[in-house]
Amino acid sequence: MAERGHLSRASAVALQQAMQSHQAGDLDAAERSYRRVLAMSAGHPDALHYLGVLLHQRGQSENAIELVRKSLRITPRHADAHSNLGNIYKECGRLAEAEACYRQALELVPGHPQAIGNLAVVLQAQERADDARLSYASWLHSCPDDARAHHLYGRFLCTHPRDLGDVEQSLECFRTAFLLDGDNLRVLEDLGMALYGLGRSDEAAAVYRDWAARDPDDPIPRHMLAACGAAEAPPRAEDAYVRDLFDRFAGSFDEQLLKNLGYRAPRVLIDALGAGVQGEALDVLDAGCGTGLCGPLIRARARQLVGVDLSAGMLEQARLRDCYDALVESELTAYLAAHPGSCDLVLCADTLVYFGDLGHVLSLTYAALRPGGRLAFSLEALVGTDYELSPSGRYRHARRHVHDALAAAGFAQIQIAEETLRKEAGRWVDGWVVLARRAD
């Protein structure tokens, strides 16, 4: 057997094959080759390290951590292994351990390009905004040509602005990121949203127009052009827009909403229902369930809990919460129409913000409820009597429109309360929390 840490010719070839297969995405072949290396050269640190990375990709994160830590006991000054172990911890939500790994990698290799960027990300995720700001600045100083550094710092400035000057600075970050990586059209989305946050809707529309010209099949810039008033607003967001938007953000959705935007809608809705559903065994529909943020809050009161969403990516995240009896990929009105009289409670946390006129969806919701059934939903507030598509891409609704649509659908005991449910460009967005009951 080869001495630990050293490779025979055969095991060196096997390691090279493993790494090539890994880079090509053939995880089965890569795993077989890594294990063959370890059979020939037990305890080889590179094979342990990269097999650990692979097992994490396969969802075996605890085994992955054990293997990478074992490799580091053999080669403790391997900065890449410390950085990759940090990545595994980060993706498992173990942020303090991830931070320690990134700092160790940076102690070994100052300016380590992966560790320095991910350190900024985990500091932000820990809500240590001042530390994160310094870390982003260090990343940009060390890697001035890194498009990701400029892009993520721009996002940080938009979500943690000290003043409007930070949002102004984010524009330069996004423009630099796009100059460095013109294939990343998502930078244009962030640039457009930053311009919207500054009230510069005409400039935002120009950005979306450029994006739409570069990728005419993408529904997102098409929708955002309408949101900026540069095209006719649809009566509701098209399915392709909603699906694409949330599929892209599924993996980071909770972090973005909860930690960066102070998202409160699920908790506020459940609290608003209060004792009205306490101790009951209800058939509950989480309409537009997303990643399932409402699920754990209502589970104890539900006999059956069903989540419905257009986005397969969001449903995969909701499935990880392990609190739904069923998760269904469907457009909401189609699901409601197919399930009359099926539920006692319908929850819609920021789902109806993608509908303009609420009449049709509320009529279908009424039909889906059993007699005495309840509806609870949140909206963004509009001063006036109707509704409008805002530059955020979401619809805002006036109290009068909400009340009239509910009454026309047959709902009674209508309650519409003012609330702030999320932040946008560092400012709280005014919203409604709405409760109603099917009377018959």
**pLDDT (tens digit, 9 = 90+) per residue, 12-48?**
888 999 999 999 999 999 999 999 999 988 889 999 9
Query: What span, in angstroms and rounded, lies between the C-alpha atoms of 42 and 74?
Result: 12
User: What is the full DSSP assignment across 164-183?
Assistant: HHHHHHHHHHHHHHHHH-TT
Radius of gyration of the chain (CA): 25
How confident is the model over 250-274, as pLDDT tens digits? 665 545 554 555 678 888 899 898 8
Given a cut of 70, whether residue 170 has pLDDT beyond it is yes
* Ordered DSSP codes for 227-250: HTTSSPPPSB--HHHHHHHHHHHG
Pairwise CA distance, residues 277 & 438, whole Å? 14
Tokens of 374: 């309840």
Instruction: Give the mean pLDDT of the chain.
Output: 90
Domains defined for the chain, CATH in brackets: 9-141 (1.25.40.10), 158-232 (1.25.40.10), 252-438 (3.40.50.150)
**108, pLDDT greater than 70:** yes
Question: CA–CA separation, 151 vs 142, rounded Å?
Answer: 15
* Secondary structure letter of residue 355 according to DSSP: B
CB contact burial 177-186 (16+ within 10 A = b; e otherwise): bbebeeeebe
Q: Specify the pTM.
A: 0.78
Can you tell me the mean pLDDT for 338-350?
A: 95
Q: How is residue 394 annotated by DSSP?
A: S
| Residue with the two structure tokens 């710092």 | 153
